[in-house]
Amino acid sequence: DKGVLGTPTYEMAYELLLPSAIDGNHFAQFDIGGLLFTGLGVERNYSKAMYWLRKSADQGYVRAYPFIGDMYVNGWGVAEDTVEAAHWYLQAADAGHTPGQLRLGYMRMHGKGIDRDLVLAHRWLRLAAAGGSDKARQALRDLNEIIAPEQIAEAEREGEAWLKERGDKVKQKFADFHDLEKLLRLPEAVE
């Protein structure tokens, strides 16, 4: 659709968002970071993308956290640092952000950059699955092949405690937390 300014473009978005980002709008900072990261509308620049994503994250914008973690895991615009990535994933996961929970669950499951911990992996992947992540559902199926039943029970207790600490807002998102069968069903089976 054409708007008042004509057909929208990424270049136009960058030009319109930049003043708001400079003024401290965390949404605009996140979007500018995303444009710089992808190279849409501007030349790709990972270092500048990290700058704007950190500005957004410093204001508590949770969507920026796993993005920053990804940049550390892959060494995009920063030195590769899986410990720092895990820090950002944990912040996102702890805030109830499904992509952060998924990524932290993967790191714990595979011991990538942090200690392998199947109980924590199960906890975070289960929460991500409850948040709607099909990738987390698949990872849980894989994890359930190698984890002991008592470890699953421990992960469930930890997940319960995590949910209890977070109050009604986060609990609503995970209303089906106890229904493992529902969590593990493939998307095409849930109709």
**Model confidence over 30-54: pLDDT tens digits?**
999 999 999 999 999 999 999 999 9
Stretch among 93-97, 111-115, 139-143, 176-180 having the lowest mean pLDDT:
176-180
Per-residue model confidence as pLDDT tens digits over 142-174: 999 999 999 999 988 888 888 788 765 555 555
Is 87 within 8 Å of 94 (Cβ atoms)?
Answer: no
Domain boundaries, the chain: 6-61, 96-189
- pLDDT for residue 169: 55
Distance, in Å, from the CA atom of 17 to the CA atom of 22, rounded to the nearest integer, reads 9
Q: For the whole model, what pTM was predicted?
A: 0.81
